[in-house]
Structure 1
Amino acid sequence: MKDDGPKGFDLAQLLAERGAERYELHAKYLNHQLPRMLHTIGFDRVYERAEGAHFWDADGNDYLDMLAGFGVMGLGRHHPVVRKALHDVMDASLADLTRFDCQPLPGLLAEKLLTHSPHLDRVFFGNSGTEAVETALKFARYATGKPRILYCTHAFHGLTAGSLSVNGESGFREGFAPLLPDTAVELGDLDALRRELGRGDVAALVVEPIQGKGVHEAPPGYLRAAQELLHRHKALLIADEVQTGLGRTGDFYAYQHEEGVEPDLVCVAKALSGGYVPVGATLGKDWIFRRVYSSMDRVLVHSASFGSNAQAMAAGLAVLAVMEDEETVANARRTGDLLRERLAALTGRYELLHAVRGRGLMIGIEFGRPSSLKLRSRWTMLQAARKGLFAQMVVVPLLQKHRILTQVSGDHLEVIKLIPPLVIGEPEVDRFVTAFTAVMEDAHSGGGLMWDFGKTLVKQAVANR
């Protein structure tokens, strides 16, 4: 009998043989609507490799990433320091996840993470942002003995059952009821918060200091006033920093833009692992953790099978080290200010461009009803079919003509959100602003391929009704 030698798994060979089937495989075995949607809007590209804030296709064309994997790639793709840390931790052959010992890496990462929020004391490590939120919801309920969580309209905190209960977008909630009996209030509405707290059953308010959907910032003074109200009623403030944390807004946490705000629980994830290994963290005050883990009988009352795994912890430590060494937070603030100022300067030039807002490298570009009759009629046609189509009309040529990847900020929103890797600089700002200006020129010309594509989107929207 012929011996073919040792058998094994060859990833490079598998990708060489089957990589071209990527869209067919996804359509057959995963979410069949994703490849369909990508094909409809012309996003069905094949990217071969990536580094930093750029992708490359098979022809060697480079694409600028202004999406960062929904914020996961804070340091860009394949940062060498994070990559080396993962190789090192795997080569160390640690006795990981025994579950009945205390490994050093989780403690070291918790210690380092807490230096950026000195009013907090302890950390729970999970595997995602939605797990970080679930942890905060559970801890708040148990620590206060109260059942209800308040959240803000248009908020996004995750898609598992608990975090979905505090999701302010009806499109995500539809068809998944009954959810937890939590209550929405408007971001910035202190009177509504006061009324709900008066019922005496509120455990916490969970809030994004800057909402991802539409890029709306909490009004000045709101977080501090909300915190005081909550504490007066023995309720907690939970800051969801899953997208805004780790330097995204030009401070380590977005809540730090407002003096005196010290949340009781803070949720982080996304950029913490450098984009390699799923990791989430819930930071909190000592007394909250002591109530949840009140005895040895309750030592596993909240845990995660892969939480605190060595790869995730090593990646997190490497990310925080890189952020310090490369002054990532300062770069996000400086580059974000430059990008926002240059885009805001265009608002007086283009009537379809209504506002530019945000902090650091989390920027929202909002479009609105134009004043001229010719453009207004076209705008009305789009809005009648489906709100949000114009923003999609901008996103598509940014990719197809200028090789820049962006996203519409939410369903039925005429807002583009920019959340690029925090390592971009002036050359990337120049490239984006030049491309965006060209797209605006095309849109305001009243004709051309952009509005032809708009007709295609209208037909698609009508067909899906």
Structure 2
Amino acid sequence: MGVEPTTREIFDAYIDHSWRSNAKRQRDKGAEFIIGRREGPYMWDRDGEKRVIDCGNAGGVHSLGHRHPAVLSALRGALDGGSDTGLWAIPNYEYLKLQDLLAELAPSPRLNRSVVTLASTISVDLAVSFAFRVTNRRKILAFRHGYHGHTGFAGIVTGSFDEGILEHYNMPRHLSSFFEPYNDIEAVRAKLSDEVAAVILEPMDYENFAPGDADFLLSLQQACREVGALFVLDETRTGLGRTGQLWAAEHFPGLAPDMMITGKGLSGGLYPVSALMTTESIYDRCMNEHKYSYISSLGGNEISCIVAQAVLKESARSELHENVRSMSALLEAGFTDLCNKHSDLVVPGTAFGCIATIACKDPTMGPAFYRAVYDEGVLCHSISYTEPVVLKFFPSLIIDEGVVNEIVAATDRALTSLSR
């Protein structure tokens, strides 16, 4: 057998003949890391030289930590029990069980139907298709700096100048429009008309991770109802216990979207799966009035549905939600103390469950801050492209006080090194 390549050699190969921009982006950030062993909130590089706390989690894919025992057991049980991906044209019982569980755990009773897909991007794409059919309109309104995916209609409703790909792929621009800033209902109303089929957004500002205001989200829902547009809530990042409730929507009594998307963490980080949750009337109109309304060779397959059921059961546990709320309070307090200690460099950001930020006084400090924290053993989610420039932390939901203390101590060391 040949000698296994090193981390540096893998990065070099990516830059030479693979996804160059991805490898170069990480190298430029000073986070040249290839995952080797992984467990719970930790990852080790394949060279065995560095351990980091995963505070990126691929936006929530590993919300239950890497290789969660219950999810891993469900996957192994599915494989050992004789399951495979099945055949798309033949109903499978696990799909039905997952649909029923999603309906049982939905934040609103009206979300009692679902379509199971392989990725959130596909679920977004499907939500837009549903909105076009139900309203007979062909325009979607989205937050300018939101993120919903990179393919199909999901790419059309991701308007970020930095992360969006509308211009890059010369996508049709007449199908979407964008509002900004977040939490400004008048900015929405200025773009919302009887031409809009749906409004899609996350219950937080994707760029700076600031949570949505209750008044804003409820007013947006009402504004959609007034003009006959559907309201689509994307809980790809905020769902499955991330905010201290199973769904972020539960923090806003009265919020009842027409469609809701979950994914990323629904996979448990072990097998791809996502779901579009919607109402019975929308589901029947879109799925049951055409023989081939949505076909996917692998979407909703047996193994993915078994894994998703295990994730949902773990994510719905009240003990998990309590842990998220407790660790959020500890993390917020720790970061506040750091901001007081290093007041020349940073100020407090926001905390929304296991979603936390620290804001940079100097907007140019972001990349150096990210790298310094990585050097001290914490791999963060990202830095914001818009002001306020914040360093974004997205830790696993299973962290304990010891891990929180490690994160705070590493960030303290990073700020101390920057102050020098």
TM norm structure 2: 0.91
Distance 1:443 1:96 in 2: 50
Amino acid at match of 2:311: V
Q: Once the 2 structures are TM-superposed, how far is the Cα of residue 231 of structure 1 from its aligned partner?
A: 1.1
Asked if the contact 1:392/1:408 (under 8 Å) is kept, the reply is no
Report Cα offsets for 1:97-121 as digits up to 9, x if no partner: 3223210111111111222213311
Which residues in structure 2 correspond to 1:40-59 (within 5 Å)? 40-57=28-45, 58-59=47-48
Q: Once the 2 structures are TM-superposed, how far is the Cα of residue 85 of structure 1 from its aligned partner?
A: 1.1
Q: Which one has a bigger Cα radius of gyration?
A: 1
1:192 aligns with 2:215: no
Distance 2:200 2:340 in 1: 36
The answer for the alignment partner of 1:237 in structure 2 is: 231
1:340 to 317, 332, 337: 332
1:167 to 155, 158, 167: 158
Quickly say closer, same or farther: Cα 1:95–1:343, change in 2 above 3 A: closer
Asked if the contact 2:56/2:382 (under 8 Å) is kept, the reply is no
1:149 aligns with 2:140: yes
Query: Is 62-71 or 256-265 further displaced after alignment?
Result: 62-71
SS of the equivalent of 2:339 reads coil
Distance 2:187 2:36 in 1: 50
Distance 2:84 2:347 in 1: 56
Quickly say closer, same or farther: Cα 1:294–1:103, change in 2 above 3 A: closer
The answer for the alignment partner of 1:32 in structure 2 is: 20
Q: Once the 2 structures are TM-superposed, how far is the Cα of residue 149 of structure 1 from its aligned partner?
A: 1.1
Q: Once the 2 structures are TM-superposed, how far is the Cα of residue 214 of structure 1 from its aligned partner?
A: 1.2
2:384 to 410, 413, 433: 410
State the identity %: 25
The answer for the alignment partner of 2:418 in structure 1 is: 443
Distance 1:180 1:304 in 2: 27
Quickly say closer, same or farther: Cα 1:345–1:119, change in 2 above 3 A: farther
Distance 2:31 2:265 in 1: 24
Distance 2:66 2:318 in 1: 15
The answer for the alignment partner of 2:241 in structure 1 is: 247
Asked if the contact 2:202/2:233 (under 8 Å) is kept, the reply is yes
Higher RCO, 1 or 2 (CA under 8 Å, sep at least 6)?
A: 2
Task: In structure 1, list runs of 5 or more residues that go unmatched.
Answer: 1-12, 370-386, 446-465
1:309 to 301, 307, 318: 301
The answer for the alignment partner of 2:253 in structure 1 is: 259
2:349 to 331, 353, 356: 356
Query: Is 115-124 or 321-330 further displaced after alignment?
Result: 321-330
Q: Once the 2 structures are TM-superposed, how far is the Cα of residue 24 of structure 1 from its aligned partner?
A: 4.0
Quickly say closer, same or farther: Cα 1:185–1:311, change in 2 above 3 A: same
SS of the equivalent of 1:210 reads coil
SS of the equivalent of 1:221 reads helix
2:110 to 116, 119, 134: 119
Quickly say closer, same or farther: Cα 1:410–1:129, change in 2 above 3 A: farther
Distance 1:300 1:409 in 2: 42
Report Cα offsets for 1:169-202 as digits up to 9, x if no partner: 11223322233421112222222333433x3111
1:426 aligns with 2:401: yes
The answer for the alignment partner of 2:72 in structure 1 is: 83
Query: Is 225-234 or 326-335 further displaced after alignment?
Result: 326-335
Report Cα offsets for 1:104-152 as digits up to 9, x if no partner: 1111111112222133111111111111111111111111111111111
Quickly say closer, same or farther: Cα 1:174–1:79, change in 2 above 3 A: same
Asked if the contact 2:246/2:316 (under 8 Å) is kept, the reply is no
Task: In structure 2, list runs of 5 or more residues that go unmatched.
Answer: none
Quickly say closer, same or farther: Cα 1:443–1:227, change in 2 above 3 A: same
Asked if the contact 2:84/2:302 (under 8 Å) is kept, the reply is no
The answer for the alignment partner of 2:365 in structure 1 is: 390
Quickly say closer, same or farther: Cα 1:354–1:196, change in 2 above 3 A: same
Distance 2:101 2:266 in 1: 12
Asked if the contact 1:156/1:167 (under 8 Å) is kept, the reply is yes
The answer for the alignment partner of 1:451 in structure 2 is: none
Distance 1:19 1:80 in 2: 29
Distance 1:246 1:313 in 2: 15
Q: Once the 2 structures are TM-superposed, how far is the Cα of residue 412 of structure 1 from its aligned partner?
A: 5.5
Distance 2:370 2:191 in 1: 40
The answer for the alignment partner of 1:322 in structure 2 is: 314
Amino acid at match of 1:408: S
The answer for the alignment partner of 2:10 in structure 1 is: 22
Asked if the contact 1:156/1:211 (under 8 Å) is kept, the reply is no
Distance 2:335 2:316 in 1: 29
TM norm structure 1: 0.83
Asked if the contact 1:210/1:254 (under 8 Å) is kept, the reply is no
Asked if the contact 2:372/2:417 (under 8 Å) is kept, the reply is no
How many residue pairs get aligned? The number is 410
1:288 aligns with 2:282: yes
